[in-house]
Structure 1
Amino acid sequence: MGHCCSKNVSVADNEPTGRQQSKHSPVAPVPPSPSTTDVHSGKETPANSFSASPLQSPLPAGIAPSPARTPGRKFRWPLPPPSPAKPIMAALRRRQGREAKPKDGPIPEEHQGDQVEADRALDKSFGYGKNFGAKFELGKEVGRGHFGHTCWAKGKKGQLKGQPVAVKIIAKAKMTTAIAIEDVRREVKILKALSGHKNLVRFYDAFEDANNVYIVMELCEGGELLDKILSRGGRYTEGDAKTIVVQILSVTAFCHLQGVVHRDLKPENFLFTTRNEDAPMKVIDFGLSDFIRPDQRLNDIVGSAYYVAPEVLHRSYSLEADMWSIGVITYILLCGSRPFWARTESGIFRSVLRADPNFNDTPWPAVSSEAKDFLKRLLNKDHRKRMTAAQALTHPWLRDEKHDVPLDILIYKLVKSYVRATPFKHAALKALSKAITEDELYYLRAQFRLLDPKHGYVSLDNFRTKNAVGPHEKFN
């Protein structure tokens, strides 16, 4: 989420939809990406963040997996391809409580009455505090979007007295579906559950009255990462890009360890705390986020078109979807253009599913091989081969950076799988362990030290101590 509607970014008109970029194709500068609304900077964002779609995967059955890998070759479809964008946007309207405009005149009055009765049947009581007006003084509106608007505010008493904050105000009148109400509940629940990381926006409290829900959070006044990219002419140096990527990976690893998948990581959703050049970033906007178990797969299509992972479009994904989005952000940081793009939303989806990122044109010949390997391991269409956030932090491209390596939830999944495996599989894994590379060994040693094992062995209690699993979790 973030404001980018007013930024004029040139995009080549002759780019073929769904075609892989080649040296004959124009390189598109980093775009303002499709999104929602920024609660912290208060800026309005473009409207093509999308949400739960009834459409099946846009990859039709029987189609060759990668015809777009040949530069300059258009997609060949046996029939006109379905447009994922239309049902996605229709689902988004339903999620927001906005129905499509009728084609055959106005809605009859009796239907309007039915809608009013349906609204009354919804439980719009959240159990939040009722004294927002007594604790905060609202200032000017600083942004407006689909789900509400954002205001600057200042604390009137208590611990936040005199402190400026950002307040996201969501009108209950717009919560016309049970899904919209649940989205608000879940966003507040996630914000309450996530705390204690320096790159995570601070949540203060949630309030409600008869008309609105008020979500009070930290005010970040340094602007969006997208603004910073554009102010630099669309590119970061490798050194500066590393500083940004480390912060993104660190907070993402923290969220994943707490069982939260963000599902909408993009430059607009990272804000700098101040306008100082070395100000830290904060991740914002958990409106599309969800809780997820280590072995769970999600199936609702959400995110922003340029940053959505292939498996999201196939409706079966987990934490790896966030890592794809980080790969797209890193690609933009290093070259200033999108790895996957087209002139239509459905064209973007086809490009994500079939095209490969371009590493041949300027400036890629001057970019280090470690950086390109880092990107290829994040933008891998096979989510099983994609790096986790903790693995990415131990990649050679970032290894020299001064940062802590967080505990990886993948380690718990692997240990749990090993405990449940047969003796034959134990023997096979022991043999395969001799083929571990130096990079993999570096990562595993870092994870082993984090668990602080007693007598050289790792137990379930080690994971519980690190809050990686719940108190009732069992290995078998």
Structure 2
Amino acid sequence: MGHCCSKSAAVSVANNNHDSSTSTAVPVPPSKQAPVAPSPVAGDVRNTPSHSFTASPFPSPLPAGVAPSPARTPGRKFRWPLPPPSPAKPIMAAFRRLREARPIPEENNQAAAEVEEGGGERGLDKSFGYAKNFGAKFELVKEVGRGHFGHTCSAKGKKGELKGQSVAVKIISKAKMTTAIAIEDVRREVKILKALSGHKNLVKFYDAFEDANNVYIVMELCEGGELLDKILSRGGRYTEDDAKVIVVQILSVVAYCHLQGVVHRDLKPENFLFATKEEDSPMRVIDFGLSDFIRPDQRLNDIVGSAYYVAPEVLHRSYSVEADMWSIGVITYILLCGSRPFWARTESGIFRSVLRADPNFDDTPWPTVSPEAKDFVKRLLNKDHRKRMTAAQALTHPWLRDERRAVPLDLLIYKLVKSYVRATPFRRAAIKALSKAITEDELYYLRAQFALLEPKHGYVSLDNFRTALMKNATDAMKESRVHDIINVMEPLSHKKLDFEEFCVAAVSTYQLEALEGWEKIASTAFECFEREGNRVISVEELAQEMNLGPTSYPLLKDWIRTSDRKLSFLGYTKFLHGVIIRTSNTRHR
């Protein structure tokens, strides 16, 4: 579970006899595939055949009928689907990482475990500092789920606050932790669960224990089954109203995680469980085994996730929290039509489809789906991660908007304001013109974010940004160093922003370009820029504005009008981006 080459995905694609970029069938395992029981608890998503794993070399402390955790560490990364962008260095680095994380052959598991225990050359520190009295506090009942990283059992509390209460226990064998990376993965998963537990749509974390053989992660028992099973039970798709209820819950918890500096990296229907069997049961996101802390300006490069839900930038090995938003787009597509947006017979075919194909919005039932719903999915399945909505923005999209529902604070606002306060006067003038052309839908989101900063007398300052962030802080923010972004916003300490200037600072050119009305927005903005901000500028000065060298001069010449030496419409749109995005069909002279 959690890998792009997961067993369920591999089996399902192997049994299909055709290859296309989209699927016309619901995401249900083929009829030839053996039925798989749902996992009703946190931790693992699907039971897999017991013969897929070998037994732990240690004596099992588990009751009869409960198999031990698999005693090997699977590779964290799937096979390279395409050559990486850089031909030499990334490949060698990847091979080194794969060699370090390579699992020990099954026949050598026992010997390796004995060497580690004896303090040999492969000895690793497998002490986590967790309590060691798991057996005294809980009684295991039965195994209810199994995955690559461990297996999950239901249990009963024997004493303490959880006495008599049913819980889920994720059990990870220490024999399986064959590398320092594997040990750190477990430590990080517990840190994330402990730091984030408390959100209504995130599985509750109770405690972590360890003994000589295993680590035990005690969590809330979710008895309502997986979202995937709910989709299948409904014939493969939801109505729009029912889909909204699901998507809002997913976005709410993901917005919370992203604000704390946590990227999940394995969002899929199997990793959302219903807390109870009631029809209106709330959902819980589970399985943070592949999750990681991420700094505001950091890019991750290790390829993890599940094939059908992996974002293009993950395959290119440079991604951030936007990769989770792509996965939510895939989930929403499935909810609305019952098929996957990207599909192929083979794993490499899936990756090619993700990188090159466009989702099908023409076949049934898409002609009957509302334009708002289609726009919502398209803005999440944009291959340019910069144009994708954030979770907080998605909650204010016309398809989901509800003025009675609180909008979460968005870290994107901090990033944009940070860039604005450090921008040159000429760039600020260009952005100011753009802000005057934004749509009412974008203004709705900006008003909500401005209100969350609790302006005083209509203005916000650095203190407002700091206070708003602290109000939402958890221990996860310390690990991900989210607070560091306040330090680089220091120029704001000497000024205040009213709502008009806040809109200028917080507008995103890339996300506006993703709108269907971008051409009109850009034209209106340029007309305003011509009146108020456009001025004579040399190629050298323009290159300096964009931090470009002399090699860019021939290109930048095309951005400046020969008639008056000011930016042309093409130059204005390119200057807003800071990089070359595309050539507009509209021309202004």
TM-score (norm 1): 0.83
1: CA distance between counterparts of 2:346 and 2:120? Answer: 36
Aligned to 2:429, what secondary structure does the other structure show?
helix
> What is residue 443 of structure 1 aligned with on the other side?
445
Shift of 1:28: 2.8
1: CA distance between counterparts of 2:235 and 2:151? Answer: 30
Shift of 1:393: 0.6
For this pair of structures, how many residues does the alignment match?
437
1: CA distance between counterparts of 2:98 and 2:134? Answer: 30
> What is residue 52 of structure 1 aligned with on the other side?
77
Aligned 8 A contact 1:155 1:165 in 2? yes
CA distance 1:59–1:43, change in 2 (3 Å): closer
Q: Is residue 2:334 matched to residue 1:332?
A: yes
Shift of 1:424: 2.1
Aligned 8 A contact 2:154 2:166 in 1? yes
Shift of 1:5: 5.6
> What is residue 217 of structure 1 aligned with on the other side?
219
Which of 26, 29, 33 pairs up with 1:29? Answer: 26
Q: Is residue 2:28 matched to residue 1:15?
A: no
1: CA distance between counterparts of 2:409 and 2:447? Answer: 11
1:15-164 map, 5 Å: 15-16=18-19, 19-21=20-22, 27-31=24-28, 40=42, 43-44=45-46, 51-52=76-77, 55=80, 58=82, 95=101, 98-99=103-104, 121-164=123-166
Shift of 1:192: 1.2
Aligned to 1:159, what secondary structure does the other structure show?
coil
Query: Any gaps of 5 or more consecutive residues in structure 1?
Result: 63-83
Shift of 1:279: 0.4
Q: Which amino acid aligns with 2:103?
A: R
CA distance 1:380–1:472, change in 2 (3 Å): closer
CA distance 1:13–1:152, change in 2 (3 Å): closer
Q: Point out the more displaced range, 349-358 or 127-136.
A: 127-136
Query: Any gaps of 5 or more consecutive residues in structure 2?
Result: 31-37, 53-73, 473-481, 491-589
2: CA distance between counterparts of 1:349 and 1:194? Answer: 31
Shift of 1:159: 1.3
1: CA distance between counterparts of 2:339 and 2:384? Answer: 23
2: CA distance between counterparts of 1:60 and 1:298? Answer: 15
CA distance 1:111–1:245, change in 2 (3 Å): closer
Q: Which amino acid aligns with 1:51?
A: R
Q: Which amino acid aligns with 2:371?
A: S
Aligned 8 A contact 2:376 2:394 in 1? yes
Q: Is residue 2:494 matched to residue 1:470?
A: no
Shift of 1:203: 0.5
1: CA distance between counterparts of 2:234 and 2:395? Answer: 25
1: CA distance between counterparts of 2:308 and 2:197? Answer: 28
Q: Deviations over 1:433-465 (max 9, x none)?
A: 111111110110011111112222223332332
Aligned to 1:356, what secondary structure does the other structure show?
coil
> What is residue 380 of structure 1 aligned with on the other side?
382
Aligned to 1:124, what secondary structure does the other structure show?
coil
Could you say which structure has the greater relative contact order, defined with CA pairs below 8 angstroms and 6 or more residues apart?
1
Aligned 8 A contact 1:37 1:146 in 2? no
Q: Is residue 2:414 matched to residue 1:409?
A: no
Aligned to 2:436, what secondary structure does the other structure show?
helix
Rg larger in structure? 2
Q: Is residue 2:349 matched to residue 1:347?
A: yes
Aligned 8 A contact 1:50 1:302 in 2? no
2: CA distance between counterparts of 1:400 and 1:472? Answer: 30
Aligned 8 A contact 1:203 1:217 in 2? yes
1: CA distance between counterparts of 2:105 and 2:128? Answer: 28
Q: Which amino acid aligns with 2:26?
A: P
Shift of 1:399: 1.1
CA distance 1:90–1:201, change in 2 (3 Å): farther
Aligned 8 A contact 2:140 2:154 in 1? yes
Aligned 8 A contact 2:173 2:215 in 1? yes
Q: Is residue 2:423 matched to residue 1:426?
A: no
Aligned to 2:296, what secondary structure does the other structure show?
coil
- Kindly report the root-mean-square deviation, in angstroms, between the aligned alpha carbons of the 2 structures: 3.5
Q: Which amino acid aligns with 1:15?
A: H
> What is residue 264 of structure 2 aligned with on the other side?
262
Q: Point out the more displaced range, 270-279 or 421-430.
A: 421-430
2: CA distance between counterparts of 1:391 and 1:440? Answer: 9
Aligned to 1:121, what secondary structure does the other structure show?
coil
Q: Which amino acid aligns with 2:259?
A: L
1: CA distance between counterparts of 2:120 and 2:305? Answer: 29
Q: Point out the more displaced range, 370-379 or 463-472.
A: 463-472
CA distance 1:424–1:89, change in 2 (3 Å): closer
Aligned 8 A contact 2:28 2:232 in 1? no
2: CA distance between counterparts of 1:430 and 1:382? Answer: 24
1:208-247 map, 5 Å: 208-247=210-249
Shift of 1:419: 1.6
Q: Deviations over 1:265-307 (max 9, x none)?
A: 0000000000110000000000000000111100000000000
The structure where helix makes up a greater share of residues is 2
Q: Point out the more displaced range, 144-153 or 374-383.
A: 144-153
Q: Which amino acid aligns with 1:404?
A: A
